[in-house]
Amino acid sequence: MYLTKKHLSRRTLLKGLGVTMALPFLDAMTPAGPTGTASAAAAATAGRTGTTRLVAMEMVHGSAGSAPYGRQQHMWSPAAAGRHFDLSPTSLVSLEPYRDYLTIISNTKDHSAEAWSAPEIGGDHFRSSATYLTQAHPRQTEGSDIDAGTSLDQVYAKQFGQDTAIPSLQLCIEPVDQAGGCDYGYACVYTDTLSWASPTEPLPAIRNPRAVFNQLFGLGNNPQDREARRRAKASILDWLTVQIAEMKKTLGASDRRRFDNYLTDVREIERRIQNVEKHNASGAARELPEAPVGVPDSFHEHVQLMMDLIAAAFQADLTRVVSFKLGRDASARVYPGAGCKAATAAFHPTSHHQEKPENLEIFKEINSYHVSMVPYLLAKLKSVQEPEGTLLDNSVIIYGSPMGDSNVHNHSKLPLFLMGHAGGRIRGNVHIETPEGTPMANAWLAVLQAMGVNREKFGDSTEAMDLNPTVETTVAERQG
């Protein structure tokens, strides 16, 4: 309870020398009014439309479960459609604790990623990412006359992201090259970009967690100030000591605990970034010698830092829209944290499994490892309470790939799942097995509608997918 009985604005900021910190949601931000009245309830839920958070993740190279043998072994999608499915044989097994939030979507197709003309044949890796969230076929060019489509995240951001400090945030793990041509006549910007503000406006992604942290907390007025602050090795909270103390005086006990937890999270994120920078600047040998000093060599540490930053940004309502590119097509990265067989397997070569069961098992281990990153974010979002449920209840997390069987570079039977309830508009705990060749755009259209976007068409969609089906069938029942 806010002790002065005054409504604390959701946009309240703490400001110090070159530092700006937004606050997490606090009970004091609920407009004052008689408890239990209709007006108080309406005030507490006001503005919920458009406050759903969106994280759109892409992992390249498809999945082992998109290959014929992989489908037989249910390496990605479970055998049963409906709500009584078994995740244990699949690469999604790490999502079991969150199955009530899980919507698996099987058999979709990304027609826009296919070759539409003879000169485009072979260029699948170099146009796929540009199609993933746009469902638009990119113009084959290595010049400046690029053309793709407006991405799903930007459609949402243009309608509901404009009243946050950062309308949308674009993140990545692998290095990007926004200039020149990559291969098969495609500009590198197609390979490296998920978010498109318009068909001709790609939005570059940030790889360095330090750069994201600085953007979220407004560190320094110029690069020199930011570098000086980094070298001082002080926490941003040290520049806000007086403001934090004054704020706590105005808060009730529950709000103080929530505020303290948020400050602890911010300090811990900052500490980990500083540790990464210290190690990488020490002269020790690096796995990623070309990476900026703030980028961890460890894949899982890098992903988790980015997810911590996403959760902090959502909690303070700095942004509601994030695209997150977890890999880069044709990457030969090795994941030591993957299964015993996959620990030394290079990603892209392994994805060309030649339909050999032993190779597909290794590729499945890599897929499973990648998916196992997601529960970290789910746990962070589920731990944050809002007026109506948790951050996870009020979010949609997309995870998928515009490529299916990477061994043959096709774009069918795509790996795809959603997490979150979109403020109650997506039920979860369901495997939706769509008819063969269903456009992936049908899923994107349904997601947009669930988040409050009034739209009847997206990309090559034919209709909005039903994300809350009531009829339960299994593959065996349909085939029988």
Q: Which two tokens stand for residue 184?
A: 């098969």
What is the band of 256 on the pLDDT scale with cuts at 50, 70, 90?
very high
CA distance 381 to 333: 29
Average pLDDT over every residue of 343-359: 96
Q: Which of 400, 457, 454, 394 is nearest to 426 (CA)?
A: 394
The pLDDT confidence band at residue 218, using thresholds 50, 70 and 90, is: confident
What are the domain boundaries of the chain?
1-36+210-294, 52-207+299-479
Give residue-wise pLDDT tens across range 129-164: 999 999 999 999 999 999 999 999 999 999 999 989
User: 10 Å Cβ neighbour count for 156?
Assistant: 26
Question: For residues 214 and 41, what is the distance between their CA atoms, to the nearest angstrom?
Answer: 36
d(CA 248, CA 259): 8
User: Residue 164 has what DSSP assignment?
Assistant: S
Q: Choose among 87, 95, 136: nearest CA to 112.
A: 136
3-class SS of residue 186: strand
Q: Which residues of 398-411 are buried (b: 16+ CB within 10 A; e: fewer)?
A: bbbbbbbbbbebbb
Cα radius of gyration rounded to whole Å, the chain: 23
Give the dihedral sign, CA 217/223/227/229. negative
Predicted pLDDT of residue 3: 38
| CA distance linking residue 198 with residue 479, whole number of Å | 43
Distance CA(458)–CA(395), nearest Å, equals 20
Q: 134 to each of 113, 211, 232, how far by Cα in Å?
A: 10, 26, 43
- Judged by DSSP in three states, 85 sits in coil
**What pLDDT is attached to residue 265?**
94
> pLDDT tens digit string along 363-418?
999 999 999 999 999 999 999 999 889 999 999 999 999 999 999 999 999 999 99
Query: Which of 25, 27, 16, 3 shows the shortest CA–CA distance to 262?
Result: 25
The arithmetic mean of pLDDT across residues 238-266, rounded, is 92
Residue with tokens 């004054």: 246
**Cα–Cα dist 115/100, whole Å:** 38
* CA-closest candidate to residue 439, choices 133, 109, 58, 113: 109
| Rounded CA separation 351/358 (Å) | 12
pLDDT at 231 over 90: no
- 108-138 residues labelled b (16+ CB within 10 A) or e (exposed): bbbbbbbbeeeebeebbbbbbbbbbbbbbbb
Q: Tell me the CATH architecture of domain 52-207+299-479.
A: 3-Layer(aba) Sandwich (3.40)
**pLDDT tier for residue 10 given thresholds of 50, 70 and 90:** confident
Strand, helix or coil for residue 435: strand
Residue 415 pLDDT:
98
